[in-house]
């Protein structure tokens, strides 16, 4: 029986597994995918997220990524360039980043089983109270099985089967947004800066990637994103006066991927025997590009609490983890929600654009904070 079983080998799960394995914990990680696998993302690791990887000795995961010096933010009338002031992020395709993190977790000593679907948590009564004691899984073409462990970490994403089965997370009725993303070749005007183009009713990120590629990711509240995401993404680009010319000779690789609704609400760190990490513990659509920092640090926090729980008892571990997550992320969560509310209100967005035009230094400071440069 492993000490810890982790549902999900994405960034949060892989980081948690690495920290635990290095500490001598017997850890088993399960993921339904086989790596490398495609993943819709903005494909940028901001300075704060990169600093976490460096501190953990995992910065090899971004080898081959492009340096990112800051962000360019535009409205229909305003364009502001915000630098990270001597710091850098990286742009790297998520399928490459995730595969590298899985490899590093294996090298640290974690056992990772791919092609295994985590179906549900196993809950038993211990001392008169419910406690998670393991997971049920299904292998490709195989029969269900049960895996017991001293502690379970759910890092299985926004639609976590573990968290939702226990009613620990849900998709709120508002806001409802969908992300549409695709890779393009031959996009003109790419620089060492990520881009965020905020428009009435949507925002669109563009990031340069190795090999001359560009990632374009549109976030909208229109449900028709589910019907024809490729057309909706191309319409947003081709009707945008700042982007249409730059994409005139571009070619989309394959079809666009669609993800959503994006937001996930979660007010718990888990329950007895269970800790939540990454998007399983809550998700806000990543307008500021800091989702990976939440994943890396969230995985690390879950691992550190797991180490404490294995030595001192698991009953209150989820309570301590929730407090640690709120201390680490609370201010940034509120900041991100404020930005999304601003972008979702045409009146507020116009007022913000006017403010950026007359006082661009304020927006540059916002860009630096959004990129977690102060946390680097």
Q: Residue 115 and residue 102: Cα distance in Å, rounded? A: 14
Residue extents of the structural domains in the chain:
4-43+93-173+263-341, 178-262+345-375
Q: Could you please report the per-residue DSSP string of 135-152? A: EEEEETTS-EEEEE-SEE
Give the HSE-up count for residue 241: Cα atoms under 13 Å, Cβ half-sphere. Answer: 7
pLDDT for the residue numbered 346 = 56
Tokens of 151: 């502690």
Which CATH number does 178-262+345-375 carry?
Answer: 3.30.70.2450
Residue-level pLDDT, tens digit, the chain, 376 residues: 999 999 999 999 999 999 999 999 999 999 999 999 999 999 999 999 999 999 999 999 999 999 999 999 888 888 888 889 888 999 999 999 999 999 999 999 999 999 999 999 999 998 888 999 999 998 877 778 999 999 999 999 989 999 999 999 987 777 788 899 999 999 999 999 999 998 888 889 999 999 999 999 999 887 766 788 999 999 999 999 999 999 999 999 999 999 888 878 888 999 999 999 999 998 766 555 678 999 999 999 999 999 999 999 888 999 999 999 999 887 877 766 666 565 555 544 554 554 555 456 666 666 666 666 666 5
Domain 4-43+93-173+263-341 classification at class level: alpha beta
pLDDT for the residue numbered 338 = 63
- Output the CA–CA distances (angstroms, integers) from residue 112 to 17, 233, 292, 306, in the order listed: 9, 36, 21, 18
pLDDT for the residue numbered 354 = 47
Tokens of 13: 């799960």
Is residue 87 classed as helix, strand or coil in its secondary structure?
Answer: coil
- Give the distance, in angstroms, between the CA of residue 179 and the centroid of all CA atoms in the same chain: 13
């Amino acid at each position: 029986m492993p000490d810890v079983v982790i549902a999900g080998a994405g960034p949060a799960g892989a980081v948690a597994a690495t920290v635990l394995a290095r500490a001598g914990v017997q850890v088993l990680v399960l993921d339904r995918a086989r790596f490398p696998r495609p993943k819709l993302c903005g494909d940028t690791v901001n300075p704060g997220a990169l600093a976490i990887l460096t501190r953990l000795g995992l910065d090899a995961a971004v080898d081959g990524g492009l340096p990112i010096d800051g962000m360019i933010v535009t409205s229909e009338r305003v364009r502001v360039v915000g630098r990270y002031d001597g710091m850098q992020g990286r742009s790297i395709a998520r399928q490459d980043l995730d595969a590298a993190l899985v490899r590093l977790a294996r090298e640290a000593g974690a056992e990772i089983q791919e092609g295994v679907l985590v179906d549900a948590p196993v809950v038993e009564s211990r001392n008169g109270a419910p406690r998670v004691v393991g997971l049920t899984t299904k292998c490709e073409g195989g029969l269900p099985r049960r895996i017991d462990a001293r502690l379970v970490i759910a890092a299985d994403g926004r639609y976590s089967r573990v968290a939702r089965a226990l009613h620990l997370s849900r998709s709120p009725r508002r806001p409802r947004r969908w992300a549409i993303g695709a890779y393009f070749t031959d996009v003109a005007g790419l620089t060492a800066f990520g881009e965020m183009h905020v428009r009435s009713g949507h925002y669109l990120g563009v990031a340069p990637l190795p090999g001359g590629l560009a990632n374009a990711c549109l976030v909208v509240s229109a449900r028709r994103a589910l019907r024809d995401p490729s057309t909706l993404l191309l319409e947003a680009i081709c009707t945008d006066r700042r982007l249409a010319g730059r994409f005139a000779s571009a070619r989309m690789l394959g079809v666009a991927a669609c993800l959503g609704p994006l937001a996930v609400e979660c007010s718990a760190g888990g329950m007895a025997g269970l800790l939540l990490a990454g998007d399983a513990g809550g998700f806000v659509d990543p307008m500021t590009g800091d989702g990976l920092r939440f994943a890396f640090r969230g995985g690390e926090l879950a691992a550190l609490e797991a180490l404490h729980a294995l030595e001192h008892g698991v009953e209150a571990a989820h309570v301590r983890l929730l407090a640690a997550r709120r201390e680490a992320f609370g201010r940034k969560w509120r900041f991100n929600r404020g930005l999304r509310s601003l972008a979702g209100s045409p009146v507020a967005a116009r007022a913000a654009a006017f403010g950026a035009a007359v006082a661009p230094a304020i927006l540059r400071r916002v860009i630096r904070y959004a990129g977690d440069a102060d946390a680097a």
